[in-house]
Chains A and B, each alone.
Chain A
Amino acid sequence: MTQELPSHYLYPAALFFSKEPYLINTILGSCVAICLYDTTLKIGGMNHYMLPFWNGQGLASPKYGNIAIEKLVEQMLKAGCSKQNLVAKIFGGGEVIDAGSNMFNIGKRNIEIGETMLRDLGIKIVASDTGGKLGRKIQFNTQTGAVLMKLIQRTLIPQNNNR
């Protein structure tokens, strides 16, 4: 059945939400992806952020956790979802050695901002797989809310230059 759903590959710093059912795929190293699912409307969306906070550098994009989470929640509420029906699943934030990054503990801080913001928004985290030393491939079925995950070696992770 899932074979029939259209799929979308989510790039880092982007987010994806649609009222139509989708399979959203992404690959995570130290980045974090949050899958939000409305258990009543049976629709969902995902973000994929690289750094915890926008610090005024560059564009105020969902590359940064604080913006990515805000924007995804905003879009879902606009589409008629209500906050108490939303549940979250968090993935990623591995300690992946990133040649281009000089940031310390970036994965951990990405996880931290996600958990904190979701708690503050009152959105329950119903599943998560974060941290560790490996990367992850995930696939979010926005119709059922199920997420498939596979751990991957770091060589497969696209090198994101965080800075």
Chain B
Amino acid sequence: MSKRTQLSDEELLEELRLRIKKSKDTLLQLQQLNKELQIVNKKLSESEALKSHFLSNVANEMVNPFSSIMGLSKAIMAIGPNDFEKAKPLAQLIYSEAFNLDFQLTNIFAAARVEAGQTNVEINMVDINSLIRSVLEAYDFKTKQKKLSINLHYTTDENLANNFFFPTDAEMLKVILSNLLSNGIKFSSANSKIEINAGIVDNELFISIRDHGRGISPEYLEKIFDRFDKGNKEINSINEGYGLGLSVTKAYLDILGGRIDITSEVGSGTLIIISIPRPKDIEPEGFAFDGNEFIFDEGDNQTF
């Protein structure tokens, strides 16, 4: 107490300066928080708008393919007995329309399950090589349409070279890869290359996809995982889909504990790398009934 009365002018000034600085800092923090709040507000209202846009979008994206499927099937039915050759290109068109519908529906349902918190994860040993090849095969007709060439490479730890298995959820990984490949194909320039590299390094599965397409602008790159956002709005008519693919991809990677990194340059293409850590301490399906043994041994646990 007695000390306080003996404060010199300098000390007093110093204390004052400190306090003024403190309140300035608080103010700055508050301003920062306000700014963040504004951004969030804007995002939420944008998200609302995009959601209603999504609903009107569903009409187009569903109704148009169905009417062309029906039209094309009718055309096939009308083909005379000697003209069956003509059916092939029509059937290809039907396949392509149905394929797109199937893909979009998969994403919509996946997004709905993620938002409900009801994504079912089933960890199994997955043959990564055959999974990638099956996805590539499914997109074969699209890569042919655009005359793209796809190069597939593997980099793995030596002892894994012949045994490319990784414990993960096959269905989820398939959805992730389909979305990345579908985007890669959609935004590639015709006659260009897509390079895919996959491997297991340090207990992490990584897969990279590089395309040589139009690339992504830095402004859009920031919002790329937002739902219903499709980047360039002027080209909606060519840019089919709902803008759900990458948000589903990101959400699935979150659940699997993985990461996604996107680097892109407008005009020269995009490189996307995903990595998924080997699941630790997560029960493989089939051992699920041993819950007690898996988590708790005698003694050192607490009950609440």
Contacts and interface: CB of A to CB of B under 8 A. Distances in A.
Contacts of A122: none
Interface residues of A, number: 50
Nearest to B258: A161
Interface stretch (B112-120, B153-161, B210-218, B264-272): B112-120
A8 B42 CA distance: 38
B250 A58 contact: yes
B258 A57 contact: no
A6 B289 contact: yes
A158 B279 contact: yes
Contacts of B117: 13-16, 47, 61-62, 68, 71
A27 B294 CA distance: 12
Contacts of A59: 111, 114-115, 227, 247-248, 250-251
A63 B251 contact: yes
Contact of A150 (B44, B227, B255, B296): B296
A60 interface: yes
Nearest to B285: A9
Nearest to A129: B304
Contact of B281 (A2, A27, A160): A27
B251 A158 contact: no
Classify chain B: how many residues form its interface, as a range: 35 or more
B40 A55 contact: yes
B288 A56 contact: no
A89 B304 contact: yes
Given A59-B251, A61-B251, A11 B121 contact: yes
Q: Which of A55, A68, A137: most chain B Cβ within 10 A?
A: A55
B233 to A, nearest CB: 18
A30 interface: no
B53 interface: no
Interface in B114-133: 114-119, 121
A138 B119 CA distance: 20
A63 B254 contact: yes
Interface string B271-299: 00000010111110000110110111000
Nearest to A91: B304
A100 B40 CA distance: 22
Interface in B155-201: none
B302 A3 contact: no
Given A12-B255, A56-B44, A59-B251, 12 more contacts: A14-B121, A23-B292, A25-B291, A56-B40, A56-B42, A56-B226, A58-B225, A149-B301, A150-B296, A158-B277, A159-B277, A161-B253
